[in-house]
A and B are shown apart, each in its own frame.
Chain A
């Protein structure tokens, strides 16, 4: 069965600090990888996704993630966070073909202090 592990449940950073959120997945096949974000009071929205090709993907708001196949990892990074990045971040995986339900990690709550 697929599973996703997010290592950090709560992260507190000051503005301008660099961010890296860990994500590892377990699945015996080809997958699509995602990071979703939920800002306070808002819907879950897609931050970035990886299907194939360049393992370094760039998303909205300056976020990027790197797929490392040998490590089954898809870590999220941002060089300099802003107060507005305060949110909950979810790593997710789906099968490349067939039923494409998302399997999520437990989420990481990020608090950025001004």
Chain B
């Protein structure tokens, strides 16, 4: 089966511009997660979708970040307006749904965002 895909792989934008990142999870995976790694620091959770619903968005840094998952398939993460501190690698992960048992999260390759 195809893995998690992310687009674009790299994005370089200027401060104040808007960028939209896309994640396509593994087909059939209800859970979709966004994470971010700022250079030299840990990978940090941003938010979690179950199908099209936001289950946990406690990691979203501020209201410049907007995540959507229309129809419960792919997801987009928009940053508007982008600031210098938004630079980093944005990872998407997906997992099967259901129950309280842990389902392995499969990660995409990440999108490297550079804000100048």
Contacts and interface: CB of A to CB of B under 8 A. Distances in A.
Question: Does chain A bind chain B?
Answer: yes
Interface of A: 4, 32, 36, 42-46, 49, 51, 90, 94, 96-107
B28 interface: no
Contacts of A103: 45
B10 to A, nearest CB: 13
Interface stretch (B60-68, B77-85, B103-111): B103-111
A104 B42 CA distance: 6
B42 A98 contact: no
Given A44-B91, A51-B102, A94-B102, A101 B33 contact: yes
B107 A101 contact: no
B105 A102 contact: yes
A4 B56 contact: no
Nearest to A4: B42
Interface residues of B, number: 26
Contact of A101 (B4, B59, B108): B59
A32 B48 contact: no
Contacts of A100: 102-103
Contacts of B116: none
Given A94-B102, A104-B43, A99 B48 contact: yes
B102 A46 contact: no
A43 B42 CA distance: 16
Given A97-B100, A101-B48, 7 more contacts: A43-B106, A44-B93, A46-B104, A49-B102, A99-B56, A101-B33, A106-B41
A94 B3 CA distance: 22
A43 B55 CA distance: 25
Contact of A98 (B35, B100, B105, B110): B100
Contacts of B41: 106
A53 to B, nearest CB: 14
